[in-house]
Amino acid sequence: MTPSRPYIMRALYEWIVDNDCTPYLLVDARRPGVEVPSQYVKDGQIVLNVSPSAVIELLIGNEWISFNGRFGGTPTDILLPVGAVIGIYARENGQGMVFEAEEAPEPPDDPSGDDGGGSTSKPEGRPSLKIVK
């Protein structure tokens, strides 16, 4: 079976937003594949506000989470593997969930669909969806 973590994260995100609270992600910034502004990392972790008013194009996929957020007023693309998320909770009351620690495997395949042809550079572009009628 596929891992349940991304499904639980999406459900908790929706529940937190539906209850007019602010969803925060606690992320292990040391995990491979995590792309966050390093100046905001403290003790190897970063807390990300992922409320609809704070981010653009939030995608919580089965392997990757991506969005555009502002850090110090500068728009920044954020990309992290789902396994790097330590927990998701509401800022206002702390309700949410902390996930069991996973061993730090290699990050999942590049979300841009690259076959990993030897390049270790950042993924180009962002995942996108198309409306099909």
User: Domain extents for the chain?
Assistant: 5-98
CA separation for the pair 116, 12 (Å, rounded): 32
* Topology annotation, domain 5-98: SH3 type barrels. (2.30.30)
pLDDT value of position 128: 61
**Unique residue bearing structure tokens 């180009």:** 124
CA separation for the pair 57, 128 (Å, rounded): 9
pLDDT value of position 101: 78
Q: What's the pTM?
A: 0.75
**Contact status, residue 27 vs residue 90, Cβ threshold 8 Å:** no
**Unique residue bearing structure tokens 């502002």:** 70
**Contact status, residue 101 vs residue 95, Cβ threshold 8 Å:** no
* % residues pLDDT > 70 (the chain): 77
pLDDT higher than 60, residue 44: yes
Convert the pLDDT of each residue in 4-26 to its tens digit: 999 999 999 999 999 999 999 99
pLDDT higher than 70, residue 119: no
pLDDT value of position 55: 96
